[in-house]
Amino acid sequence: MSCPSTALFPMKCPPLSHRHRGGLDGGPIAAVPLCPERSAAPTTRQGSGDMFGARWSGADASGILGIGDRRLPQRYCMDFLLHLVAVYGLLLVFATTLVDQGGLPLPAYPVIVATAAFAQAGGGPLWPIVVVATLAALIADVSWFVGGKRWGVRLLRLMCKVSLSPDSCVLMTRGIFTRWGAPSLMVAKFVPGFAAVATLLAGEARIRWRTFLLFDGIGALLWSGVGVLIGALFHSAVREALDTLAALGRYGVAVIVLAAAVFVGWKWLKRHLFLRELRLARISPQDLQALIDSDAPPVVLDVRLLARRAETGWIPGSIHVNTMEEAASRASGEVVVYCDCPNEASAAALAADLRKHGFHRVRPLAGGFEGWRDSGHVIVGATRR
């Protein structure tokens, strides 16, 4: 059988006897090192890697979970989580990276860094971690790319509706991609809220497969490589941090859960405040049409992708802008901003920036471009109906 503490790089161990199964005979798990090949000379300090080598080697599921040993301290709750990283590191790296790059708020970098730290401490190779993380990231990215090609802005709207970060689909994200194009995929994963949206926008922009795979592959490799490099270089610090969490036991788990809850809660609060401000400031398509027909028509700014504007058309008289500087140079008097993002996030973000720069009569268009079109108002320049 494989030694549980070395599942990243399996070694053969002798069969377990009943009396050697840690925790089942009431004795401490730390007293059952069954892998003589992994035995090491006593050290003055027991790090995370040493702890797993002694505590988890030869222990079956009952021993790991503490079943049958009521004397086990509470720290085993945290120890078990660390054991999962030490034993199933590659599987966890793949799963968390796939979920993270899929757009859900489950950060994969801590798992990548911790797994790399364990591998470095144990003298194992680091390249499997890089390969697995890169592969998982590419699978998620290709899924978004295909979705962008097929469903385009509809999928983007769905993504933004379920996102805790309303800024993930706003002007900054579109501005970066519009300015740099496919090469922006090389750094997309290092920008919070940009990775999944960038790959989706790449699909919507009909970027060629070869170009997408080249730049996205480089980006995925850089992203995973940096995480592994951090874990390898600072493995001692990582192990000390994990030892501290393990010493806290259940409290260590509580710290992690509390930190995650605070993060999600803060994101939700920002989204709630953002949407509340947006609801108070919008202008309806009917009111915009009335302003356009008046003696003092407003300046209408279009913050969608240029390719999207050319494909679906635009509101008569609207001006396409990519950056805040362009918008400020065009803005005067009454200003209306529109986009095709859910909740008018891009338009609202630009409107807020313009207000900060002294343009107080700025409002996003309720429903965005689709709201205008669905209301039956005139659209010009469309190449596709």
Q: Reply yes or no on whether the pLDDT at 286 is more than 70.
A: yes
Average of per-residue pLDDT across 221-243: 87
Superfamily of domain 283-374: Rhodanese-like domain (3.40.250.10)
Residue 11, C-beta contacts closer than 8 angstroms, at least 6 positions apart: 2, 3, 35, 37, 38
Higher pLDDT, 349 or 18: 349
Q: Reply yes or no on whether the pLDDT at 208 is more than 60.
A: yes
- Look at residue 217 in the predicted model and tell me its pLDDT: 95
Q: Render pLDDT for 133-156 as a digit per residue (tens, 0 to 9).
A: 999 999 999 999 999 888 876 777
- The packing angle between helices 127-151 and 153-162, to 10°, is 120
pTM listed for this prediction: 0.60
Domain segments of the chain: what residues?
Answer: 4-38+45-72, 87-279, 283-374
Distance separating alpha carbons of residues 300 and 365, to the nearest angstrom: 9
Distance separating alpha carbons of residues 108 and 93, to the nearest angstrom: 7
- The pLDDT confidence band at residue 120, using thresholds 50, 70 and 90, is confident
Q: Render pLDDT for 303-324 as a digit per residue (tens, 0 to 9).
A: 887 777 888 899 999 999 877 7
Q: Reply yes or no on whether the pLDDT at 168 is more than 60.
A: no
Higher pLDDT, 368 or 11: 368
Average of per-residue pLDDT across 54-70: 36
Q: Reply yes or no on whether the pLDDT at 362 is more than 80.
A: yes
